Amino acid sequence: MGAAKNIWALANAEDEANVAEQIPYSSFVVDTSLPLPLMIPRIIELCKDLFKNWRDLDDSLFSVERVSGGITNLLLKVSVKEDTDKQVSVTVRLYGPNTEYVINREREILAIKYLSAAGFGAKLLGGFGNGMVQSFIYARTLEPSDMREPKIAAEIAKELGKFHKVDIPGSKEPQLWVDIFKFYEKASTLRFEEPDKQKLFETISFEELHKEIIELREFTGLLNAPVVFAHNDLLSGNLMLNDEEEKLYLIDFEYGSYNYRGFDIGNHFNEYAGYDCDYSMYPTKEEQYHFIKHYLQPDKPDEVSIAEVESVFVETDAYKLASHLYWAIWAIIQARMSPIEFEYLGYFFLRYNEYKKQKPLTFSLVTSHLSASV
Protein backbone atom coordinates (compact mmCIF):
# COMPACT_ATOMS: atom_id res chain seq x y z
CA MET A 1 0.00 0.00 0.00
CA GLY A 2 2.88 2.35 -0.80
CA ALA A 3 0.71 4.70 -2.82
CA ALA A 4 -1.70 5.17 0.08
CA LYS A 5 1.17 5.88 2.46
CA ASN A 6 2.56 8.49 0.09
CA ILE A 7 -0.81 10.24 0.04
CA TRP A 8 -0.87 10.46 3.83
CA ALA A 9 2.70 11.74 3.81
CA LEU A 10 1.52 14.53 1.53
CA ALA A 11 -1.37 15.25 3.87
CA ASN A 12 1.15 15.75 6.67
CA ALA A 13 3.46 17.97 4.64
CA GLU A 14 4.19 21.44 5.95
CA ASP A 15 2.10 24.17 4.37
CA GLU A 16 1.46 27.85 4.83
CA ALA A 17 -1.90 27.39 6.51
CA ASN A 18 -0.48 24.90 9.04
CA VAL A 19 -4.00 23.57 9.45
CA ALA A 20 -3.31 19.99 10.49
CA GLU A 21 -1.40 18.16 13.16
CA GLN A 22 0.51 15.07 12.13
CA ILE A 23 -2.01 12.45 11.07
CA PRO A 24 -1.07 8.89 12.11
CA TYR A 25 -0.96 6.26 9.37
CA SER A 26 -1.15 2.46 9.57
CA SER A 27 -0.35 0.04 6.77
CA PHE A 28 -3.24 -2.17 7.87
CA VAL A 29 -5.75 -3.26 5.24
CA VAL A 30 -9.17 -4.52 6.33
CA ASP A 31 -10.90 -7.09 4.14
CA THR A 32 -14.31 -5.52 3.46
CA SER A 33 -15.73 -8.82 2.20
CA LEU A 34 -15.58 -10.31 5.71
CA PRO A 35 -18.77 -10.53 7.78
CA LEU A 36 -18.74 -8.01 10.64
CA PRO A 37 -17.98 -10.55 13.46
CA LEU A 38 -14.78 -11.59 11.65
CA MET A 39 -13.90 -8.00 10.78
CA ILE A 40 -14.14 -6.69 14.36
CA PRO A 41 -10.81 -8.12 15.67
CA ARG A 42 -9.01 -6.57 12.69
CA ILE A 43 -10.70 -3.20 13.33
CA ILE A 44 -9.64 -3.28 16.98
CA GLU A 45 -6.08 -4.18 15.98
CA LEU A 46 -6.09 -1.30 13.49
CA CYS A 47 -7.23 1.22 16.12
CA LYS A 48 -4.57 0.07 18.55
CA ASP A 49 -1.94 0.42 15.85
CA LEU A 50 -3.05 3.97 15.05
CA PHE A 51 -3.63 5.38 18.53
CA LYS A 52 -0.93 4.91 21.16
CA ASN A 53 -3.17 5.49 24.19
CA TRP A 54 -5.33 2.49 23.19
CA ARG A 55 -2.54 -0.05 22.65
CA ASP A 56 -2.58 -1.54 26.16
CA LEU A 57 -6.36 -1.67 26.51
CA ASP A 58 -8.10 -5.05 26.61
CA ASP A 59 -10.12 -5.94 23.50
CA SER A 60 -13.23 -6.28 25.68
CA LEU A 61 -13.23 -2.51 26.14
CA PHE A 62 -13.88 -2.01 22.42
CA SER A 63 -17.24 -2.28 20.67
CA VAL A 64 -17.75 -2.10 16.91
CA GLU A 65 -21.03 -1.62 15.07
CA ARG A 66 -22.04 -0.82 11.55
CA VAL A 67 -23.30 2.74 11.13
CA SER A 68 -24.23 2.67 7.49
CA GLY A 69 -23.17 1.20 4.21
CA GLY A 70 -24.00 3.38 1.25
CA ILE A 71 -23.22 2.46 -2.31
CA THR A 72 -19.54 3.39 -1.99
CA ASN A 73 -18.19 2.89 1.56
CA LEU A 74 -18.70 0.94 4.78
CA LEU A 75 -18.88 3.00 7.97
CA LEU A 76 -18.22 1.54 11.40
CA LYS A 77 -18.60 3.12 14.84
CA VAL A 78 -15.84 2.08 17.23
CA SER A 79 -16.46 2.88 20.91
CA VAL A 80 -13.73 2.51 23.50
CA LYS A 81 -13.98 2.62 27.30
CA GLU A 82 -10.78 4.48 28.14
CA ASP A 83 -11.66 4.34 31.84
CA THR A 84 -14.68 3.70 34.05
CA ASP A 85 -16.20 7.10 33.41
CA LYS A 86 -15.21 7.85 29.84
CA GLN A 87 -16.19 6.32 26.51
CA VAL A 88 -14.82 7.65 23.24
CA SER A 89 -16.23 6.91 19.79
CA VAL A 90 -14.67 7.24 16.33
CA THR A 91 -15.82 6.44 12.81
CA VAL A 92 -13.82 3.98 10.72
CA ARG A 93 -14.52 4.48 7.02
CA LEU A 94 -13.61 1.55 4.77
CA TYR A 95 -13.32 2.39 1.10
CA GLY A 96 -15.42 0.25 -1.19
CA PRO A 97 -13.46 -2.08 -3.51
CA ASN A 98 -12.45 -0.54 -6.86
CA THR A 99 -13.60 2.95 -5.84
CA GLU A 100 -10.32 4.33 -7.16
CA TYR A 101 -11.91 4.07 -10.61
CA VAL A 102 -14.30 6.91 -9.76
CA ILE A 103 -12.72 8.68 -6.76
CA ASN A 104 -9.45 10.61 -6.59
CA ARG A 105 -8.32 9.65 -3.07
CA GLU A 106 -5.28 11.92 -3.15
CA ARG A 107 -7.48 14.91 -3.95
CA GLU A 108 -9.88 13.92 -1.18
CA ILE A 109 -7.30 13.49 1.55
CA LEU A 110 -5.44 16.68 0.73
CA ALA A 111 -8.71 18.65 0.89
CA ILE A 112 -10.09 17.12 4.09
CA LYS A 113 -7.66 18.82 6.48
CA TYR A 114 -8.55 22.28 5.13
CA LEU A 115 -12.27 21.56 5.21
CA SER A 116 -11.97 20.17 8.74
CA ALA A 117 -10.07 23.29 9.84
CA ALA A 118 -12.91 25.38 8.40
CA GLY A 119 -15.42 23.44 10.51
CA PHE A 120 -16.81 21.02 7.93
CA GLY A 121 -17.33 17.30 8.40
CA ALA A 122 -15.69 15.05 10.92
CA LYS A 123 -12.13 15.62 12.10
CA LEU A 124 -9.56 13.44 10.35
CA LEU A 125 -7.83 11.32 13.01
CA GLY A 126 -5.86 8.74 11.04
CA GLY A 127 -5.41 6.85 7.83
CA PHE A 128 -4.76 3.24 6.82
CA GLY A 129 -4.34 1.13 3.72
CA ASN A 130 -7.96 1.17 2.58
CA GLY A 131 -9.66 3.81 4.65
CA MET A 132 -9.56 6.51 7.28
CA VAL A 133 -10.59 7.16 10.88
CA GLN A 134 -12.57 10.28 11.75
CA SER A 135 -14.27 11.75 14.78
CA PHE A 136 -17.79 10.47 15.39
CA ILE A 137 -20.62 12.91 14.67
CA TYR A 138 -23.57 12.66 17.05
CA ALA A 139 -26.36 13.42 14.62
CA ARG A 140 -28.89 11.71 12.38
CA THR A 141 -28.47 11.24 8.66
CA LEU A 142 -31.07 13.11 6.64
CA GLU A 143 -33.67 11.50 4.39
CA PRO A 144 -34.46 13.02 0.96
CA SER A 145 -37.78 14.33 2.33
CA ASP A 146 -35.91 16.28 5.05
CA MET A 147 -34.10 18.38 2.47
CA ARG A 148 -37.27 20.09 1.29
CA GLU A 149 -38.26 21.26 4.79
CA PRO A 150 -37.90 25.07 4.53
CA LYS A 151 -35.87 25.46 7.73
CA ILE A 152 -33.50 22.60 6.87
CA ALA A 153 -33.21 23.74 3.24
CA ALA A 154 -32.22 27.21 4.44
CA GLU A 155 -29.56 25.74 6.72
CA ILE A 156 -28.16 23.53 3.94
CA ALA A 157 -27.99 26.57 1.68
CA LYS A 158 -26.21 28.59 4.36
CA GLU A 159 -23.66 25.86 5.02
CA LEU A 160 -23.07 25.27 1.32
CA GLY A 161 -22.43 28.98 0.84
CA LYS A 162 -19.73 28.86 3.53
CA PHE A 163 -18.33 25.62 2.09
CA HIS A 164 -17.90 27.27 -1.30
CA LYS A 165 -15.72 29.96 0.27
CA VAL A 166 -13.10 27.54 1.62
CA ASP A 167 -9.75 27.94 -0.12
CA ILE A 168 -8.09 24.62 -0.96
CA PRO A 169 -4.47 24.90 -2.17
CA GLY A 170 -3.65 23.64 -5.64
CA SER A 171 -5.22 24.04 -9.04
CA LYS A 172 -8.49 25.97 -9.13
CA GLU A 173 -9.49 24.54 -12.51
CA PRO A 174 -13.03 23.10 -12.56
CA GLN A 175 -12.95 19.30 -12.73
CA LEU A 176 -16.46 18.56 -14.01
CA TRP A 177 -15.66 17.83 -17.64
CA VAL A 178 -12.25 16.34 -16.79
CA ASP A 179 -13.98 13.81 -14.54
CA ILE A 180 -16.86 13.15 -16.94
CA PHE A 181 -14.47 12.39 -19.80
CA LYS A 182 -12.40 10.13 -17.53
CA PHE A 183 -15.57 8.27 -16.58
CA TYR A 184 -16.58 8.07 -20.24
CA GLU A 185 -13.24 6.58 -21.34
CA LYS A 186 -13.45 3.90 -18.66
CA ALA A 187 -17.14 3.16 -19.15
CA SER A 188 -16.98 2.85 -22.94
CA THR A 189 -14.36 0.06 -22.84
CA LEU A 190 -15.96 -2.20 -20.23
CA ARG A 191 -17.13 -5.76 -20.66
CA PHE A 192 -19.41 -7.68 -18.31
CA GLU A 193 -19.09 -11.34 -17.36
CA GLU A 194 -22.84 -11.69 -16.85
CA PRO A 195 -24.59 -12.11 -20.25
CA ASP A 196 -27.68 -10.14 -19.16
CA LYS A 197 -25.59 -7.19 -18.03
CA GLN A 198 -23.46 -7.29 -21.19
CA LYS A 199 -26.58 -7.34 -23.35
CA LEU A 200 -28.02 -4.32 -21.50
CA PHE A 201 -24.65 -2.56 -21.67
CA GLU A 202 -24.59 -3.00 -25.45
CA THR A 203 -27.83 -1.03 -25.77
CA ILE A 204 -25.99 2.11 -24.63
CA SER A 205 -24.92 4.32 -27.53
CA PHE A 206 -21.58 5.71 -26.47
CA GLU A 207 -21.39 7.72 -29.69
CA GLU A 208 -24.62 9.49 -28.73
CA LEU A 209 -23.41 9.90 -25.15
CA HIS A 210 -20.16 11.50 -26.32
CA LYS A 211 -22.06 14.00 -28.49
CA GLU A 212 -24.28 14.92 -25.54
CA ILE A 213 -21.24 15.56 -23.33
CA ILE A 214 -19.63 17.82 -25.93
CA GLU A 215 -22.85 19.73 -26.58
CA LEU A 216 -23.63 20.27 -22.90
CA ARG A 217 -20.07 21.37 -22.12
CA GLU A 218 -20.28 24.04 -24.81
CA PHE A 219 -23.78 25.10 -23.82
CA THR A 220 -23.09 25.48 -20.08
CA GLY A 221 -19.89 27.36 -20.94
CA LEU A 222 -22.05 30.24 -22.18
CA LEU A 223 -23.08 30.96 -18.58
CA ASN A 224 -19.59 31.72 -17.22
CA ALA A 225 -20.60 30.13 -13.93
CA PRO A 226 -18.43 30.89 -10.88
CA VAL A 227 -15.93 28.21 -9.87
CA VAL A 228 -15.84 27.19 -6.20
CA PHE A 229 -14.58 24.28 -4.15
CA ALA A 230 -17.65 22.08 -4.49
CA HIS A 231 -18.90 19.09 -2.53
CA ASN A 232 -20.26 17.49 -5.74
CA ASP A 233 -22.26 14.79 -3.90
CA LEU A 234 -24.67 16.62 -1.62
CA LEU A 235 -27.31 13.93 -1.26
CA SER A 236 -29.27 13.34 1.93
CA GLY A 237 -26.83 10.64 3.07
CA ASN A 238 -24.05 13.22 3.20
CA LEU A 239 -26.02 15.58 5.42
CA MET A 240 -26.38 15.06 9.16
CA LEU A 241 -28.44 17.00 11.67
CA ASN A 242 -28.20 17.18 15.44
CA ASP A 243 -31.82 18.06 16.21
CA GLU A 244 -31.17 19.12 19.82
CA GLU A 245 -28.38 21.53 18.90
CA GLU A 246 -29.96 22.34 15.52
CA LYS A 247 -26.53 21.86 13.96
CA LEU A 248 -26.17 20.66 10.38
CA TYR A 249 -23.10 18.81 9.10
CA LEU A 250 -21.89 18.40 5.53
CA ILE A 251 -19.88 15.16 5.43
CA ASP A 252 -17.97 12.86 3.06
CA PHE A 253 -15.87 14.85 0.61
CA GLU A 254 -14.83 11.98 -1.66
CA TYR A 255 -15.97 13.73 -4.81
CA GLY A 256 -14.99 17.23 -3.69
CA SER A 257 -13.10 19.39 -6.19
CA TYR A 258 -13.04 22.83 -7.69
CA ASN A 259 -16.11 22.93 -9.85
CA TYR A 260 -18.95 25.09 -11.13
CA ARG A 261 -21.22 26.52 -8.46
CA GLY A 262 -24.31 25.63 -10.50
CA PHE A 263 -23.28 21.98 -10.62
CA ASP A 264 -23.14 21.66 -6.83
CA ILE A 265 -26.54 23.27 -6.33
CA GLY A 266 -28.17 21.55 -9.32
CA ASN A 267 -26.79 18.20 -8.20
CA HIS A 268 -28.24 18.78 -4.72
CA PHE A 269 -31.66 19.53 -6.20
CA ASN A 270 -31.50 16.33 -8.26
CA GLU A 271 -30.91 14.41 -5.03
CA TYR A 272 -34.36 15.38 -3.75
CA ALA A 273 -35.44 12.44 -5.94
CA GLY A 274 -33.40 9.92 -3.88
CA TYR A 275 -31.88 6.70 -5.21
CA ASP A 276 -35.28 5.76 -6.64
CA CYS A 277 -35.05 8.79 -8.95
CA ASP A 278 -38.58 9.99 -8.23
CA TYR A 279 -38.22 13.31 -10.05
CA SER A 280 -41.72 14.39 -9.08
CA MET A 281 -39.89 15.32 -5.87
CA TYR A 282 -37.56 17.77 -7.66
CA PRO A 283 -37.92 21.14 -5.89
CA THR A 284 -40.43 23.61 -7.26
CA LYS A 285 -39.28 26.99 -8.53
CA GLU A 286 -40.47 28.52 -5.25
CA GLU A 287 -38.43 25.99 -3.24
CA GLN A 288 -35.38 26.63 -5.40
CA TYR A 289 -35.72 30.38 -4.94
CA HIS A 290 -35.95 29.85 -1.16
CA PHE A 291 -32.72 27.84 -1.23
CA ILE A 292 -30.87 30.26 -3.52
CA LYS A 293 -31.81 33.31 -1.43
CA HIS A 294 -30.42 31.69 1.72
CA TYR A 295 -27.34 30.55 -0.18
CA LEU A 296 -26.59 34.05 -1.46
CA GLN A 297 -27.44 36.03 1.67
CA PRO A 298 -28.27 33.84 4.69
CA ASP A 299 -28.70 36.73 7.13
CA LYS A 300 -31.06 38.75 4.91
CA PRO A 301 -32.43 36.36 2.27
CA ASP A 302 -35.39 38.58 1.42
CA GLU A 303 -33.07 41.40 0.39
CA VAL A 304 -31.54 39.42 -2.49
CA SER A 305 -32.64 40.88 -5.82
CA ILE A 306 -34.94 38.80 -7.99
CA ALA A 307 -32.53 39.27 -10.90
CA GLU A 308 -29.68 37.67 -8.93
CA VAL A 309 -31.86 34.79 -7.76
CA GLU A 310 -33.11 34.18 -11.30
CA SER A 311 -29.55 34.16 -12.64
CA VAL A 312 -28.47 31.45 -10.17
CA PHE A 313 -31.72 29.57 -10.81
CA VAL A 314 -30.96 29.41 -14.55
CA GLU A 315 -27.31 28.48 -13.93
CA THR A 316 -28.44 25.69 -11.60
CA ASP A 317 -30.99 24.40 -14.08
CA ALA A 318 -28.32 24.11 -16.77
CA TYR A 319 -25.87 22.24 -14.58
CA LYS A 320 -28.50 19.84 -13.25
CA LEU A 321 -28.20 18.26 -16.72
CA ALA A 322 -24.45 17.80 -16.18
CA SER A 323 -25.25 16.14 -12.86
CA HIS A 324 -27.42 13.59 -14.67
CA LEU A 325 -24.65 12.80 -17.17
CA TYR A 326 -21.99 12.61 -14.45
CA TRP A 327 -23.81 10.08 -12.29
CA ALA A 328 -25.24 8.16 -15.25
CA ILE A 329 -21.74 7.42 -16.60
CA TRP A 330 -20.42 6.83 -13.07
CA ALA A 331 -23.10 4.16 -12.65
CA ILE A 332 -21.86 2.22 -15.70
CA ILE A 333 -18.41 1.89 -14.09
CA GLN A 334 -19.91 0.93 -10.74
CA ALA A 335 -22.03 -1.74 -12.44
CA ARG A 336 -18.82 -3.47 -13.48
CA MET A 337 -16.53 -2.69 -10.52
CA SER A 338 -18.64 -2.50 -7.37
CA PRO A 339 -19.43 -5.61 -5.29
CA ILE A 340 -22.38 -3.79 -3.69
CA GLU A 341 -25.84 -5.05 -4.58
CA PHE A 342 -27.38 -2.14 -6.45
CA GLU A 343 -28.99 -1.86 -9.89
CA TYR A 344 -26.30 0.41 -11.29
CA LEU A 345 -27.12 -0.14 -14.97
CA GLY A 346 -30.77 0.56 -14.22
CA TYR A 347 -29.63 3.71 -12.44
CA PHE A 348 -27.76 4.77 -15.60
CA PHE A 349 -30.96 4.63 -17.64
CA LEU A 350 -32.99 6.46 -14.95
CA ARG A 351 -30.50 9.34 -14.92
CA TYR A 352 -29.88 9.44 -18.66
CA ASN A 353 -33.58 9.31 -19.52
CA GLU A 354 -34.27 12.18 -17.11
CA TYR A 355 -31.43 14.11 -18.76
CA LYS A 356 -33.05 13.66 -22.17
CA LYS A 357 -36.47 14.58 -20.79
CA GLN A 358 -35.23 17.80 -19.17
CA LYS A 359 -32.78 18.88 -21.87
CA PRO A 360 -35.20 20.72 -24.23
CA LEU A 361 -36.87 22.52 -21.31
CA THR A 362 -33.54 23.59 -19.82
CA PHE A 363 -32.05 24.64 -23.16
CA SER A 364 -35.12 26.80 -23.82
CA LEU A 365 -34.93 28.40 -20.35
CA VAL A 366 -31.20 29.16 -20.60
CA THR A 367 -31.43 30.46 -24.17
CA SER A 368 -34.26 32.83 -23.25
CA HIS A 369 -32.32 34.07 -20.20
CA LEU A 370 -29.17 34.71 -22.23
CA SER A 371 -31.15 36.52 -24.94
CA ALA A 372 -32.80 38.76 -22.34
CA SER A 373 -29.42 39.54 -20.78
CA VAL A 374 -27.89 40.88 -24.00
Question: In this predicted model, what pLDDT tens digit does every residue of 260-296 receive, in sequence order?
Answer: 999 999 999 999 999 999 999 999 999 999 999 999 9
Whether pLDDT at 18 is above 50: no
- Please give the Cα distance from 48 to 54 (Å, whole number): 5
Q: What pLDDT digit, counting tens, does each position of 183-242 carry?
A: 999 999 999 999 999 999 999 999 999 999 999 999 999 999 999 999 999 999 999 999
Same domain, 93 and 179: no
What is the chain's mean pLDDT, rounded? 92
Place 71 in a pLDDT band, splitting at 50, 70 and 90: low
pLDDT at 13: 56
Give the C-alpha distances (Å, rounded to integers) separating 129 from 96, 153, 183. Answer: 12, 37, 24
Task: Read off the CATH number of the domain in which 30 is found.
Answer: 3.30.200.20
Same domain, 17 and 47: yes
Place 1 in a pLDDT band, splitting at 50, 70 and 90: very low
Domain of 102, in residue numbers? 1-136
Same domain, 159 and 70: no
Q: Give the 3-state secondary structure percentages of the chain, helix then strand then coil, rounded to 5.
A: 55, 15, 30
Q: What is the mean pLDDT of residues 315-322?
A: 98
Q: Residue 23 carries which DSSP code? A: P
From 84, 106, 136, give the residue that closes a domain.
Answer: 136
Place 41 in a pLDDT band, splitting at 50, 70 and 90: very high
Task: Return all residues near 65 (Cβ < 8 A) that are at least 6 apart.
Answer: 76, 77, 79
Same domain, 69 and 181: no
Task: Read off the CATH number of the domain in which 149 is found.
Answer: 3.90.1200.10
- Please give the Cα distance from 244 to 234 (Å, whole number): 23
pLDDT at 73: 79
- Domains contained in the chain, number: 2
From 136, 151, 184, give the residue that closes a domain.
Answer: 136
pTM for the model: 0.90
Q: What is the DSSP string of 91-155?
A: EEEEEPTTGGGT--HHHHHHHHHHHHHTT-SSPEEEEETTEEEEEPP-SEEPPGGGGGSHHHHHH
Q: What is the mean pLDDT of residues 164-175?
A: 95
Return the minimum-mean-pLDDT range out of 22-31, 194-203, 250-259. 22-31
Place 98 in a pLDDT band, splitting at 50, 70 and 90: confident
- Please give the Cα distance from 294 to 150 (Å, whole number): 10
From 102, 136, 170, give the residue that closes a domain.
Answer: 136
Same domain, 234 and 118: no
- Please give the Cα distance from 250 to 160 (Å, whole number): 8
Same domain, 188 and 287: yes
Q: What pLDDT digit, counting tens, does each position of 104-138 carry?
A: 888 888 888 899 889 999 999 999 999 999 999 99
- Please give the Cα distance from 324 to 331 (Å, whole number): 11
Q: What is the mean pLDDT of residues 238-259?
A: 95
